[in-house]
Structure 1
Amino acid sequence: MYGPGDQLPVERELATTLSVSINTIRRAVGQLVHEQIVLRRQGAGTFVRSETTPIGSGRPLVGVLVPSTTYYYPRVIDGLQRVLRGAGVGVVLVCSKYDLDVERDELRTMLETGVQGLLLVPSLHLMDDPQSYVDGLRDLPVPYVLAERRPPSPEPDDPTTFVGTDHAGGVCKAVRHLKSLGHHRIGFLGRVSTGTSEQVAAGFEQAVELLKVEAAATSCRLLWQAQDISAYARRCVETGVTAVFCHGDRDAAALIVAARRLGLSVPGDLAVVAYDDEVAEVGDVPLTAVSPPKTEVGALAAQLLLHRIDGGRHVPSQQVLIQPRLVVRASCGSAELKLPEKAGT
């Protein structure tokens, strides 16, 4: 089940999977350590020892810091783990839970563990001076790459290597599609204080200006409650909005429910496009959604980090943005959808 160099799950997960007590798992893992079948690394985890790896040492390690292991990031993690494990590199995965103190402590612990490189998704949007934080990363003793993050106000020669989603490009694709369907008055239901909210909001502003459509009923909140979305749906009716771009699948799905309660049809009276494509397919009206290339971002970030580890400090920095896809579903209709045939034809 686990090959040489693989990291074992935590004890509680193993106990649940095998339907045994944690004490039993601890004794079993302790015996495997005693027999030198697995290796414990302080702060990193327990790993299956490779036949070619001397006892007391392990394969190269890369530290991965993410703000969450649920919603959005699982596919980023999957992409980078596939590349790293395929290259025979161990992964130390830690989660900050959007806590800056935890983020700082976990970063220090990974360095103390002896990682040879770092893949970082820092919570820049929670920091007072995020650019100073990014600048400070240059003092790290190991190579690093940012994933789904980029310097917020870089100088022209900023050397930070990063891989991220071209959020503005994705938003523009969505607004362009809505315009092609005849929508010229488009609302924006957005978020604030998320890792991507500023880029998505800026992308919407750029798109409506570029495509010469009118932005109306634009509103952003930290959290959208049901009553807020109901009020927003009424505002769309009052302002003549015929399409809405939503930052988030769940808010988009809630908007469809609120619109229907007002007697609106979707997409007939109100077209809806979401950003994220995490749960866009599961509702009564499947959501057209901008789908960030999460797996590809993780994989490419890992490849660039391995390149930096192998090549040392002289490897040129690379700054990559990958455009998302627009997945057209029922919530906005499509120019390609076939209209019902008229009776008698």
Structure 2
Amino acid sequence: MKSEWVASKLREHIADEHWPIGTRLPTEPELAATHGVGINTVRRAVGILVDEGIVVRQQGSGTYVAARPAPTGRRLIGVLVPSTSYYYPRVIEGIERALTAAGAGVILASSENQPGLEHVQIRRMLDSGAEGLILVPNLNVMDDPQAHIEALRKLPVPYVLVERRPPMPEPDDPTSYVVTNHVGGVHTAVRHLVGLGHSRIGFVGRVRTGTGDIVAEGFERAVRAMGVERVPEAVVRRTAWTAEELFDFARDCRDRRVSAVFCHGDRDAAALVVQARRLGLRVPDDLALVAYDDDVVDLTDPPLTAVAPPKPEVGALAAELLLRRIDDPASPAHRIELQPRLVIRSSCGGTATPS
């Protein structure tokens, strides 16, 4: 049937990432013209992909890619991340590299930071034949994240968490996970700023993000451990930062003689550079900056010193651990924590890390 043929072509485009997850498909008339078929044929083809969970229709908006088609003839591993556009692309890169080396295929899906969609995507991956799951659950926006962790134990296949761990685990919690030592990364950044002579250090943080609370905890622990003077007006967390809020923050830093700021993450740090300049502050001479994530630092002037989580390594280790658990269901739970690295660039006034 023509609709099956069109559906297979659409699958190919999605599988080779011509249309990445989250992308809106061309309109039905555009697809009909491209493939030389009628609109009704296209509509049936898209319906097939909707039934397979590969695309979703959004009323009044269009049809969007929700997951990659499952490859055939190989062991399949489901990978669920909150977003494919920030932080996780390099984690996914590590996962795919390890699975490819092991001859396994990937079913990749995004929950778009929505707990409800997370459940749907897990079910779709299982229905597509996933033999194991690598999961980044949206614990930061759940009312009872520990209950969600415990509910995962009912899954019919082995799973490993990435960049998440049980928030209130029992001593015998069986959850396996691979995470970055975010607290340690922040500690390294604050230690570096103190070593450069800064004793009043501010913090630009986020709330309700996957790592927001952990990074904030790391900052508080670091300033206490190193005797840094805490300036309450310069230690601020928000759901999102506007330009004017960052301008006010920079002004508070100037007025309270705060000479350095640790930012979570890169985008807010880059925006803070702009707002500091509006006040006549020079980075790093008047205000030294260190960011967290190391994702967009090359787009800033000056380049940002940043804590760089080992994202590909986290992904690769999670994939290898999951494959081991699939092959040996009796293997013990693993709790793996990797140390991030501080990459020193111009924004802190220190000596650059060798390439």
Give the whole-Å Cα distance in 2 for the aligned partners of 1:115 and 1:43.
14
Give the Cα separation in 1 of the matches to 2:71 and 2:318. 25
Superposition deviation, residue 110 in structure 1: 1.5
Q: Is the 8 A contact 1:131 1:153 kept in 2?
A: yes
Alignment of 1:90-169 (within 5 A): 90-169=105-184
Deviation at 1:153, TM superposition (A): 1.4
Over the matched positions of the two proteins, sequence identity in percent amounts to 56
Residue 36 of structure 1: aligned partner: none
Residue 75 (1) aligns with residue 79 (2): no
8 Å contact from structure 1 (residues 64, 94) kept in 2: yes
Find the counterpart in structure 2 of residue 317 from structure 1.
333
In the alignment, which residue of structure 2 is the partner of 1:62?
Answer: 77
Q: Report the AA paired with residue 126 of structure 1.
A: V
Is it true that 1:244 corresponds to 2:261 in the alignment? yes
Contact 2:15 2:69 in 1 (8 A): no
Please say if 1:332 is aligned against 2:336.
Answer: no
Distance 1:335 1:82 in 2: 33
The Cα shift of 1:22 comes to: 3.9
Are residues 26 and 290 of structure 1, via their aligned partners in 2, closer, same or farther at CA, if it must alter by over 3 Å?
farther
Segments of 5+ residues of structure 2 without an aligned counterpart are: 1-10, 21-29, 38-50, 55-67
Structure 1 Cα separation of the partners of residues 271 and 167 of structure 2: 31
Q: Is the 8 A contact 1:242 1:270 kept in 2?
A: yes
Aligned counterpart, 1:180: 195
Choose from 245, 250, 259 the match for 1:233: 250
How far did 1:43 drift?
4.2
RMSD of Structure 2 on Structure 1 (CA): 2.3
State the distance in 2 between where 1:193 and 1:150 align. 16
Q: SS where residue 177 of structure 1 aligns?
A: helix
After superposition, the C-alpha distances for 1:5-45 in whole angstroms (9 at most, x for unaligned) are xx9441896599xxxx7455699xxxxxxxxxxxxx94475
The one-letter amino acid of 1:69's match is: T
Deviation at 1:232, TM superposition (A): 0.2
Contact 1:243 1:270 in 2 (8 A): yes
Q: 2:101 aligns with which of 66, 79, 86?
A: 86
**Secondary structure of the structure 2 residue equivalent to 1:241:** coil
Return closer, same or farther for 1:25/1:103 CA change in 2, 3 Å cut-off: farther
What is the TM-score of this pair, normalised by structure 2?
Answer: 0.81
Q: Which residue of 2 aligns with 1:194?
A: 209
What residue is the counterpart of 2:226 in the other structure?
211
Mapped contact 1:191–1:197 kept (Cα < 8 A): yes
Query: TM-score, normalised to structure 1's length?
Result: 0.83
2:100, 2:328 → 1: CA distance?
Answer: 19
Contact 1:11–1:26 (Cα < 8 Å) also in 2: no
Segments of structure 1 that go 5 or more residues without pairing to the other structure are 1-6, 28-40, 50-57, 338-345
Decide whether aligned partners of structure 1 residues 144 and 269 sit closer, same or farther in structure 2, where only a CA change above 3 A counts. Answer: same
Displacement of 1:90 in angstroms is 1.3
Secondary structure of the residue aligned to 2:299 is coil
Query: Are positions 1:306 and 2:323 aligned together?
Result: yes
Structure 1 CA distance for aligned equivalents of residues 19 and 200 of structure 2: 55
Quick check: 2:69–2:107 contact (8 Å CA) kept in 1? Answer: no
